[in-house]
Amino acid sequence: MNTAKVVTRFILFLSLVYLLYPLPSEAETITGTVKNPWVAKFPVIVYIDEIPGTTFTPKNHPVMDQKNKEFIPRVLPVLVGSTVEFTNQDDIEHNVLSPDNEGYDLGNAGKGQVISYTFKNPGVYAQLCRLHPEMVGYIVVVKTPYFTVTDPEGNFKIENVPPGQHKLKVWGERLKPTQLRKDFFATVESGKGASVEIQP
């Protein structure tokens, strides 16, 4: 068999493989800005609401610290099904509870101790400490891993997003319910990504 025939058959073979097992679309990035007067002091979470027909499995355990009588970070977005670890870095005991959605009280923990909770349902969960009522934080549980938190200028970036039109939602502790219900859309093109401006 001559070289030309070998090359031709190899090309045909590769073409058949590609038709049967196409390569996945390249992941892209959504960048943008949230225009809201509160964003400099109270960051906003931006996330893809859902991708129909697709479910996701958490790959890590997010952490929310208790330090200097504060929840750090104050706002933590996580994928549904995630197990969040609460660490106490103070010299005093802290408590972790939430009255929202599933509702839980994880009890007290001393310095260096870690307690955890697995979030089974999407939603916003205020984090409180029964021993220190001034402490408050928020865990926002979403259905996709495509989420981020704005910087003080309101800028954000969501990486590794598949091409397509995606519905974006926002959450911020100072946003009104009518603003939280708004939908925003980003059309992600392969090789281009997308850029959006959000005005809740």
Same-domain check for residues 138 and 188: no
Q: Which residues of 60-93 are buried (b: 16+ CB within 10 A; e: fewer)?
A: eebebbbeeebbebebbbbbbbbebebbbebeeb
- Verify that 131 and 183 share a domain, yes or no: no
Percent of the chain's residues with pLDDT above 90: 85
Task: Say yes or no to pLDDT of 32 above 70.
Answer: yes
Query: What is d(CA 13, CA 30) in angstroms, rounded to the nearest whole number?
Result: 36
Instruction: Identify whether 99 is part of a domain.
Output: yes
- Report the predicted TM-score, pTM, of the whole model to 2 decimal places: 0.84
Question: CATH number for the domain including 97?
Answer: 2.60.40.420
Counted residue by residue, the chain has a size of 200
Q: Report the pLDDT value the prediction gives residue 26, as an integer from 0 to 100.
A: 66
Does one domain contain both 114 and 176? Answer: no
Question: Each residue of 98-110: pLDDT tens digit?
Answer: 999 989 999 999 9
Do both 50 and 70 map to the same domain? no
In a domain, 189, yes or no: yes
Residues 63 and 122 placed together within one structural domain of the fold: yes
Determine the structural domain holding residue 172 and report its residue range: 25-54+146-200
How far apart, in whole angstroms, are the C-alpha atoms of residue 67 and residue 73?
Answer: 10
- Domain contains 18: no
- Tell whether 129 and 152 lie within a shared domain: no
Does residue 6 lie within any of the structural domains? Answer: no
State whether 115 and 71 are in the same domain.
Answer: yes
At residue 62 the predicted structure's pLDDT band, cuts being 50, 70 and 90, is very high
Token representation of residue 75: 């706002």
Task: Tell me, yes or no, whether 109 and 151 share the same domain.
Answer: no
In a domain, 200, yes or no: yes
Q: Identify whether the C-beta of residue 111 lies closer than 8 Å to the C-beta of residue 91.
A: yes
pLDDT at 13 over 90: no
Domain's final residue, options 123, 142, 161:
142
Q: Single out the residue in 142, 166, 183 at which a domain terminates.
A: 142
Q: Which of 142, 164, 184 is the last residue of a domain?
A: 142
Residues 91 and 67 placed together within one structural domain of the fold: yes
Domain-embedded: residue 19: no
The pLDDT score that the predictor gives to residue 89 is 97
Arithmetic mean of pLDDT, 15-39: 70
Same domain, 78 and 96: yes
- What is the number of domains present in the chain? 2
10 within a domain of the structure (yes/no): no
One domain for residues 134 and 63:
yes
* DSSP three-state, residue 82: coil
Same domain (yes/no): 122, 189: no
- Decide if pLDDT at 16 tops 60: no
Look at residue 2 and tell me if it is in a domain. no
Q: How many CB atoms lie within 10 A of CB 41?
A: 8
DSSP classification of residue 24: P
pLDDT higher than threshold 90 for residue 10: no
SS3 3: helix
The helix (H) or strand (E) run that includes residue 13 is helix 3-20
